[in-house]
Amino acid sequence: MDRGAFWCFAARAVGTSEGYTAVSMRTYPTSRAILEHNRRFIPGGMFSLNREIEPAIVFASADGAILRDEEGNRYIDYHAAFGPFLLGHNHPVVSHAVQAALHDGSSLFGASTTRLEGKLAELICGSIPFADSCQVLNSGSEATYQALRVARAHTGRDHIIVMQGGYNGWHNDVACNVMTPLADIGPRQSPGEYPVVPLGAGIPAAHRALVHVINFNDLDSVRYVCERYPVAGLITEPILQNIGIVTPQPGYLEGLRQLANELGFVLIFDEVKTGFRHALGGYSTLAGVTPDLAVYGKALANGYPIAALAGKRELMDLFSHPDPRKRVLLAGTYNGHPVPVAAAIAVIETLRDGEIYARLEALGQLTDRYFAAMARKAGRPLTLSRQGSAFCIYFMDHAPVDWHDIATHHDFAADLAMRRAIIEKGIFPFPLPTKQWSISSAHNGEMIAQTFEAIGQALASAPAQA
Ligand code: PMP
């Protein structure tokens, strides 16, 4: 198994690509030299260790749907930096808004509020039907952290429920169980919960004791946990998009809503990946299910660092409760920085008329068609799971319902080999099995055609294993 990738606490589940396509004909001498230089000053050589990849390509520039690496190779980008680039890299309207913010005297005043903050908050609340108010932070992790704090303050309870296969950030409450090897969590069970497997060291046992991991699409386990522990909140991506695209079964999100009403926990949708990518109001508006709180990031500012926590007034007002003992602390030197705020305003204004979503859905449907044609010839079970502009190809004969399903049926080695083979052909998905593929409005039909041609060739040169 390759050294590294943060996600590869899943190492044993992911396996290796041995027996498939010979890996990396290309060499990346400049990239390797940069990485080696950076490793002298940065542990692991980079500022976010979940970005570690093999081959160790270092990218130099990006425009629209195209990336270029330090050797001058060109790639069609499907990674989108883990999802933010809904409009493609360096989108002119967003770049213009950012430049304007740099030159119009805006700064970080660190006192009181600004007109710009109010404008963004109004746009966010205008986009998300259930959002009475919102707060803006710098990252998705900060926002999920605050959401859970609000849930605890509101209910007076400490326990939380998270999903096996979901990712909600790097903080102690949620940094556990994404692509956990089944050997560590055991077989699928319902009702029930799975052992908490932290994503890294330094997470206190006392925190882990407050966290309950259940499977997505399993309502019985929610009740099971709530009957045994005082649960403040359940946090879930409404579509699991950190293990590809795992969509909710009919009635699942509605069931979560009903259980939250009945059992008194706060229902938190983590829309950091789904929000703004699938609809202005987030996936909850498409599903017709209203959470109590929801968290947004990524596509909200098309690559600039911002996140939002939005929700119902009685919960959000805990941030400004007149009694300091009941108030939830929210502070941050950089919250509401004018550069990402200007970017987010430009993004929402660009998305408002719905044309971009129509274009993205058309590209998504083209993806379905090219995939179907490619899969017919592939001679192995393949399934495309897609929501709008995000998709994942599973090497199995059905769309997965949860992580157990993927870990049991998906051919991780073939997925990894395919990703590496097409990187050689100038297509860049993140080279880790089951990571989501993202289309932007800067992609076009020709790029999608080229992509599936390359995937078809990669699979033809790597016959399915018995
Ligand atoms: N929630 C989800 C669903 C995410 O995918 C991520 C990041 N991949 C986060 C939260 C954390 O966001 P950030 O990396 O901005 O802290």
Give pLDDT tens digits for 80-121.
999 999 999 999 999 999 999 999 988 999 999 999 999 999
Q: Which of 136, 141, 171 most suits a substitution to test ligand 1, by most atoms within 8 Å of the C-beta?
A: 141
Q: What is the pLDDT of residues 188-197, one digit of tens each?
A: 999 999 999 9
Identify the residue whose C-alpha is closest to ligand 1 atom 8. 82
Strands (E), 19-165: 59-63, 66-69, 74-77, 133-137, 159-164
Q: 198 by DSSP, 3-state: which?
A: strand
129-141: b (≥16 Cβ within 10 Å) or e: ebbebbbbbbbbb
pLDDT at 110: 94
Give 391 Cα–ligand 1 centroid separation in angstroms: 17
Q: What is the pLDDT of residues 374-393, one digit of tens each?
A: 999 999 999 999 999 999 99
Q: What is the pLDDT of residues 18-64, one digit of tens each?
A: 444 445 688 999 999 999 999 999 999 999 999 999 999 999 999 99
Angular region, 194: left φ>0, alpha ψ -120 to 50, beta rest:
beta
431 lines ligand 1 (CB under 6 A): no
Is residue 17's pLDDT more than 50?
no
Is residue 463's pLDDT more than 70?
no
Average of pLDDT values for 271-290?
Answer: 98
Give 105 Cα–ligand 1 centroid separation in angstroms: 31
Is residue 1's pLDDT more than 90?
no
Give 27 Cα–ligand 1 centroid separation in angstroms: 31
Helices (H), 338-461: 338-351, 355-378, 403-409, 412-424, 445-460
Phi then psi dihedrals of residue 188, to 5 deg: -60, 135
Given 3-state DSSP classes, what are the helix, strand and coil percentages for the chain, each rounded to the nearest 5? 40, 15, 45
Strands (E), 237-372: 266-271, 293-296, 307-311
DSSP 59: E
Confidence of residue 367 (pLDDT cuts 50, 70, 90): very high
7 lines ligand 1 (CB under 6 A): no
Both tokens assigned to 402: 């949860």
Q: What is the pLDDT of residues 155-169, one digit of tens each?
A: 999 999 999 999 999
How distant, in Å, are the alpha carbons of 270, 274, 277, 392 from that of 246?
Answer: 14, 12, 16, 9
Q: Cα(first)–Cα(last) distance of the chain, in Å? A: 21
Above pLDDT 90, what percent of the chain? 92
Q: What is the pLDDT of residues 226-246, one digit of tens each?
A: 999 999 999 999 999 999 999
Confidence of residue 8 (pLDDT cuts 50, 70, 90): very low
Q: 193 by DSSP, 3-state: which?
A: coil
**What is the rounded distance in angstroms from the CA atom of residue 448 to the CA atom of residue 361?**
13
77 lines ligand 1 (CB under 6 A): no
Closest CA to 413 of 80, 7, 11: 11
Identify the residue whose C-alpha is closest to ligand 1 atom 12. 140
Torsion over CA of 368, 354, 435 and 42, rounded to 10 degrees? Answer: 150
145 lines ligand 1 (CB under 6 A): no
290 lines ligand 1 (CB under 6 A): no
363 lines ligand 1 (CB under 6 A): no
Is residue 134's pLDDT more than 50?
yes
Instruction: Walk me through the domains of the chain, giving residue ranges and CATH numbers.
Output: 5-90+354-461 (3.90.1150.10), 92-351 (3.40.640.10)
271 lines ligand 1 (CB under 6 A): no
Name the strand (E) or helix (H) holding 283: helix 283-287
Give 378 Cα–ligand 1 centroid separation in angstroms: 34
165 lines ligand 1 (CB under 6 A): no
Give 83 Cα–ligand 1 centroid separation in angstroms: 9
456 lines ligand 1 (CB under 6 A): no
Identify the residue whose C-alpha is closest to ligand 1 atom 7. 169
With the C-alpha atoms ordered 161, 164, 169, 175, is the resulting torsion angle positive or negative? positive
pLDDT at 105: 87
Mean pLDDT over the full length of the chain = 94
